[in-house]
Amino acid sequence: MSTLVQRLARLASATRDDGLAPELRDDVARRVLDVLGNSLAATAEPPAEAVGRLVREWGGAGRSTAIGAQPVPEPSAALLNGTLAHSLDFDDTHLPSVLHPSASVVPAALAVAESRGASGAQLLDAIGVGIEVAVRLGMAGYDSDLGNSVFFEHGLHATAICGAVGGAVSAAMLSGVDTDGIADTVGIAASMGSGLLEANRTGGTVKRIHCGWAAHAAVTAAGLARAGITGPPTVLEGRFGMLQAFCGDRVDLDAVTTGLGERWELPGIFFKPYPCNHFTHAGIDAALRLRARGIDPSAIESIELGAPTAVLRTIGQPPAEKAVPKSGYHAAFSGPYTVAAALLGGGGLGVFHEDFTDAAAADPDRLALAARVTCVPDAECDRIFPHQFPAVLRVRLSDGIELSERVDVNRGGHGNPLSADELATKFRLNATRAVTDARAERITELTYGLAGLPDVTALTGELVTDA
């Protein structure tokens, strides 16, 4: 019988030969545009600047575009662009695997496509398969009895672990290796993916480079396979393979291959409407609804934020850390702060980048309101999670009136998708933090026209910052 790696490699090889269906290519193009917008918005962020300095220090012959920088070697471009893509926590999310696939896969694929002279259609096909592989590996770690990802339960960042493998599939497809070479690339990349989630709880900037490192690993794995390094054929399901090592016996191997190539997870992946941890979004929406009802924040005596038990470790614990975030980035993982921001401020799409600056996170009014928020588990939210990230807000006013808003279906995914206009607005607001309106429009046109481009240099040539 074929191993899991062999089956994934055959899908990749067949898709490279036959191409994705037009509707899937269209979906991939939307994800590429989303990644590029998120990345352009992050070019002035300290982690991106730090990685940029490291990439310049490494040097090397430049064949791939690092956004906002000069051409650099494939792995360096993947590292910087992947860091940019995930730095603002604005990247798409797959449920129930609870991982962000595009921020690792797109930077890896784009670096190799440019360096190897691949066409736009080849890039779209490679990204589509890479994203599919990443989320299916994440689904293998979802335990329905537990009601959560085993990766997440163990403090592991499935985004970085599975993203390295998905990105490696994309890179291998674009590198021109045969089916066995794609399988070897997966076998190599499975030894490279890593990432811990403690930064979500207590701070640090390392999580912002997780997708960059995954993309770097993906490109490196493809290069090693081209050079003759091989990987174990049972690297996914084997006793000492990736899934057993990370998730133990709580692994659903069928999730990797059931309907593979016929039923695609790709179209159902959520686009984020807010630049913060996805677990906070339903609380933000509930707060915005209360704000629309005319609630006066100064009259609020207390707020109870009910959420799935599993997510409270990220957005509610430790309580003292979440009530007083260390930085703007730390605030993006705080349930109390994001609720306060939605009630008091909010720009762009309701809550936007200006709500996650260090200055905003230290604003006395926001901190005073955040201090009135208590995070608690909610049984109905537990029932729904992780197919959605629900929340309920219960507010008590100083005159004794109690108000509540429950949000069971997140914006951005099935049941409540972002419209084409909302996605366009998100990209424009992101991109114009770094480039002109005209350049942003040109990037949009080229991205949506990728299927007809003979190579990707017209697009990558536009990824130069103006601001």
Q: Which two tokens stand for residue 431?
A: 């991109």
Q: Cα separation of 42 and 420, whole Å?
A: 23
Q: Cα separation of 448 and 25, whole Å?
A: 9
Dihedral angle of Cα 342, 343, 345, 350, to the nearest 10 degrees:
40
The share of the chain scoring above pLDDT 90, in percent, equals 93
pLDDT of 346 higher than 80: no
Continuous H helices in 197-334: 198-202, 210-227, 242-247, 254-257, 281-292, 309-315, 319-323, 328-331
Distances, alpha carbon 132 to alpha carbons 38, 59, 91, in Å: 21, 33, 16
Question: CA-based angle 36:429:437, to the nearest 5?
Answer: 85
Residue 143 backbone phi and psi in degrees, to 5: -110, 110
Note the pLDDT tens digit of each residue in 50-93.
999 999 999 998 899 999 877 999 999 999 999 999 999 999 99
Nearest CA-CA partner of 189 in 152, 157, 155, 214? 214
Residue 434 backbone phi and psi in degrees, to 5: -130, -25
Note the pLDDT tens digit of each residue in 404-426.
999 999 999 888 999 999 999 99
- Nearby residues of 125 by Cβ (< 8 Å), 6 or more positions away: 15, 16, 19, 20, 25, 173
Buried (b) or exposed (e) across 185-220, using 16+ Cβ within 10 A? bbbbbbebbebebebbbebebebbbbbbbbbbbbbb
Nearest CA-CA partner of 268 in 428, 22, 30? 30
Residue 270's beta-bridge partner residues? 93
SS3 64: strand
The confidence score (pLDDT) of residue 414 equals 85
Note the pLDDT tens digit of each residue in 15-31.
999 999 999 999 999 99
Note the pLDDT tens digit of each residue in 131-179.
999 999 999 999 988 888 999 999 999 999 999 999 999 999 999 999 9
Note the pLDDT tens digit of each residue in 276-304.
999 999 999 999 999 999 999 999 999 99
Q: Which two tokens stand for residue 326?
A: 């260390």
pLDDT of 213 higher than 90: yes
Chain position carrying tokens 């990247």: 91
Note the pLDDT tens digit of each residue in 128-141.
999 999 999 999 99
Residue 64's beta-bridge partner residues? 72
Tell me the chain's radius of gyration from C-alpha atoms.
Answer: 21
- Nearby residues of 128 by Cβ (< 8 Å), 6 or more positions away: 15, 20, 24, 25, 27, 28, 264, 266
